[in-house]
Amino acid sequence: MKKLVSLLLVAVLLCISVSALAYSPEEPITIQYWHTRGSGAQQETMEYQINAFNETVGKEKGIIVEGTYIGGYADIMAKVQLAVASGEQPAVCITGNTRIAILQEDGILEDMLPYAKDSGLDLTNFYPGMINVPYNDETQLYSLPYIKSTPVLYYNKTIADEKGIVVPDHMTMDQLEEICKAAYTVADNGEVEIWGFESVNDFTYYQGAFLWQLGEELWNAEGESPALEGTSMLKVLSDWRRWIDEGWCRPFDSTNASNIMTEMFYQGKLFAFWNSCASMSNIARYSKEAGIELGVTNLPTYVADNPIVPIGGGNITLVGQGNTDEQKQAGWEFINFLMTDEMVAYNAIHSGYLPTTATVANNEEMKAFWEENPIFKVAYDQLPNGIEQSWPYFEYNSEFKTNIQAVVSRLVQEKSIDTAEEAVQAIKEECAHLF
């Protein structure tokens, strides 16, 4: 009987061994990686990381990663859902932080906690504000922070120096108004030569931070909207419309708003705007080409002692549904590679996205880069005040955001709504069914 048990044990161990060696340097496995990084510094960084993996860990273990640019966060989520249905899903994909819950609830994502434990990945090395996304806790891990960002204020330092404008390192909203009004320039014929400021319509990322600063989040874990029922939403919308009416703040465009805004900045027709730090490499590159010295400071705050900023961006996820154990293990090897301090530092240095681990602050390349390029450290220094954009989880956050932004367009861009009070009431009516 003991001999039989021994033989069975040997057979089991052989099966495990064969499974573990289903791919090798001699017979490599190819996995698909879908991402959102399709141009400029983002594309270059992504291609470098894929090639670096394939030439090192991939070559050693027999894994080939093929990357494909899919589009934005909404595009990649929809295409992953369709791909799973047709059996053509990737092994790894970038998922927008607010969309992870949707894919998890569809049963598409793999719990990576067992893989992390087997690999010895120290999850405490990630900043809490980054890893605290829906469906991550001490018992499960459905995503890891990868291309994460906080918004910062970009400004034309060349114009600031010419006009004697001093931009503070830790700016309040009152100071934002002061410097942007000082930069605002109108020709004798009434044409605006330099707009003081512009904001695009991404309410849950930028304005959502201001609601937190004022003490009322846009939504809470109980499925309520303290900001909508309180006074902070009214305050933020009132200020934005007032800035437009005063003339120094440019209304966003109805289409292609972000590209038009940054192009006006490169042309010297816009003094300041806030945007994700993820755009910093490209903004710095194009500003230099335009002969503009780029200035970067913190996201302005309504409350000086409560400078909350949102943490947004994409997380890396392992696709479980439809993939074999070998594909999932190979996908994890690639994810684990991206989480090393070397790759975290490279990603931050070459793209503008935030470093996501605590120990990367000790990386010599990272330290040298920050010393030479201090504007890139501004977003990192905001992390102690960061709150994950997708936290707490609210099932209807996407619809809520869409409804708010439609009303904001009518208030700020079209001016078909006359007052912020009317805008708040319109949001309440359009979103009543969500609460």
Residues 305 and 343 in one domain: no
9 within a domain of the structure (yes/no) = no
DSSP 357: B
Cis peptide bond upstream of 374, omega within 30 = no
Instruction: Give the sign of the dihedral formed by CA 255, CA 353, CA 111, CA 101.
Output: negative
306 with 216, same domain: the answer is yes
Q: State how many domains the chain has.
A: 2
Q: What span, in angstroms and rounded, lies between the C-alpha atoms of 52 and 121?
A: 20
Query: Does one domain contain both 198 and 289?
Result: yes
Other CB atoms within a 10 A radius of the CB of residue 50 amount to 20
Do 333 and 413 lie in one domain? The reply is no
**43 and 112 assigned to the same domain:** yes
Residues 270 and 325 in one domain: no
Rounded Cα gap, residues 425 and 229, in angstroms: 10
Are 120 and 241 contained in the same domain? no
In this predicted structure, what is the pLDDT of residue 16?
38
- 305 and 317 both lie in a single domain: no
Identify whether 7 is part of a domain: no
Residue 138 and residue 37 in one domain = yes
Over the stretch 297-349, which tens digit does the pLDDT of each residue have? 999 999 999 999 999 999 999 999 999 999 999 999 999 999 999 999 999 99
pLDDT of residue 12: 37
- Of 326, 348, 374, the residue that ends a domain is 374
Asked if residue 355 belongs to a domain, the reply is yes
Please give the structure tokens belonging to residue 311.
Answer: 């943490």
Domain range for 348 is: 28-148+312-374
Answer yes or no: do 321 and 338 share one domain: yes
Partners of 64 in the β-ladder = 30
pTM: 0.86
Q: What pLDDT, on a 0 to 100 scale, did the predictor assign at position 2? A: 36
Residues of the chain below pLDDT 70: 1-21
What distance in Å separates the CA atoms of residue 111 and residue 119, rounded to the nearest whole number? 14
pLDDT (0 to 100) of residue 393: 82
Q: Are 139 and 47 in a shared domain? A: yes
Please report the pLDDT score of residue 20 as a whole number: 52
Domain of residue 327, CATH code: 3.40.190.10
Are 409 and 260 within one domain?
Answer: yes
